[in-house]
């Protein structure tokens, strides 16, 4: 199956992270005030792009509901509309719409950050790309990417809260914070487990530095703990 991102990263984004983060990836925005293009008074932009094309936006002009493809056309990617008539001074255009906060490319970068987080603590692995990590790292990387996503979302909400009108901003922030705390606790445990599997554990005779590779010539000098 072809995904938007190539390689293992694309598979992880589509088959793991999007499922895990489904509850926060698609967000409903209510009554966002549009910004009129000074050079084109029929063009109105809204704070977020990447609108969900399966959900028709609700566009209000001076309190009157407009009809899509009759009163205006929609650019779902950019998050803007083009009205059939130019606006005049005092006109007010607002939109309620569903949008995706993060693109597949954004989520791919979150995986890169999650791998950097794991490699930031010793022992550092030799894995420098999502495409060469072992399969037993997929879960911890996904949870790490999810943590980064929640942190980014919290920043967006706190930054834009005074400007944008959310259905229940305080409740949404509380939910995200509780989820972030739980994910962070899970991630700490998972990272420790990955590190244990990545580093060999031995008891030496005291003559050798730790860690040291056990091979066919020096095996009798060590007691190996599995």
Total domains in the chain come to 2
Asked if 131 and 175 sit in the same domain, the reply is yes
**pLDDT on residue 164:** 55
Q: Containing domain of residue 18, as a range?
A: 7-23+102-200
Asked if 149 and 64 sit in the same domain, the reply is no
Q: Tens digits of per-residue pLDDT, 108-136?
A: 999 999 999 888 877 778 888 999 899 98
**pLDDT on residue 207:** 53
Residue 213 located in a structural domain: no
**pLDDT on residue 12:** 94
Mean pLDDT of the chain: 83
Length of the chain: 226
Q: Is the pLDDT of residue 175 over 90?
A: no
**pLDDT on residue 224:** 52
State the maximum Cα–Cα separation within the chain, in Å, rounded to a whole number: 88
Asked if 116 and 194 sit in the same domain, the reply is yes
Q: Tens digits of per-residue pLDDT, 182-198?
A: 998 888 888 888 877 65
- Where does a domain end: 49, 70, 100? 100
Asked if 125 and 194 sit in the same domain, the reply is yes
Q: Residues 210, 213, 215, CA angle at the centre, nearest 5°?
A: 140
More confident residue, 128 or 80: 80
167-175 mean pLDDT: 70
**pLDDT on residue 11:** 93
CB atoms within 10 A of CB 174: 11
**pLDDT on residue 219:** 60
Residue 217 located in a structural domain: no
**pLDDT on residue 198:** 55
For residue 154, name the pLDDT band (cuts at 50, 70, 90): confident
Residue 126 located in a structural domain: yes
> Phi, psi (5° rounding) for residue 219?
-60, -30
Asked if 57 and 155 sit in the same domain, the reply is no
């Amino acid at each position: 199956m072809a995904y938007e991102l190539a390689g293992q990263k694309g598979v992880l984004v589509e088959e793991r992270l999007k499922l895990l983060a489904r509850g926060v990836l698609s967000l409903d925005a209510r009554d966002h005030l549009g910004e009129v293009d000074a050079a084109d008074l029929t063009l109105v932009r809204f704070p977020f792009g990447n609108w969900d094309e399966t959900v028709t936006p609700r566009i209000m002009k001076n309190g009157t509901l407009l009809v899509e493809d009759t009163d205006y056309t929609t650019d779902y990617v950019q998050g803007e509309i083009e009205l059939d008539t130019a606006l005049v001074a005092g006109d007010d255009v607002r939109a309620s719409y569903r949008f995706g906060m993060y693109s597949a490319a954004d989520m791919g970068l979150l995986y890169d950050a999650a791998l950097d987080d794991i490699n930031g603590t010793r022992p550092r692995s030799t894995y420098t790309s999502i495409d060469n990590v072992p399969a037993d790292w997929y879960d911890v990387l996904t949870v790490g990417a999810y943590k980064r996503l929640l942190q980014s979302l919290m920043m967006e909400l706190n930054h834009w809260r005074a400007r944008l009108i959310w259905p229940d901003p305080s409740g949404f922030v509380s939910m995200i914070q509780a989820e972030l705390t739980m994910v962070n606790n899970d991630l700490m445990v998972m990272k420790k487990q990955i590190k244990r599997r990545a580093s060999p554990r031995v008891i030496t005779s005291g003559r050798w530095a730790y860690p040291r590779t056990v091979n066919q010539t020096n095996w009798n000098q060590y007691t190996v703990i599995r």
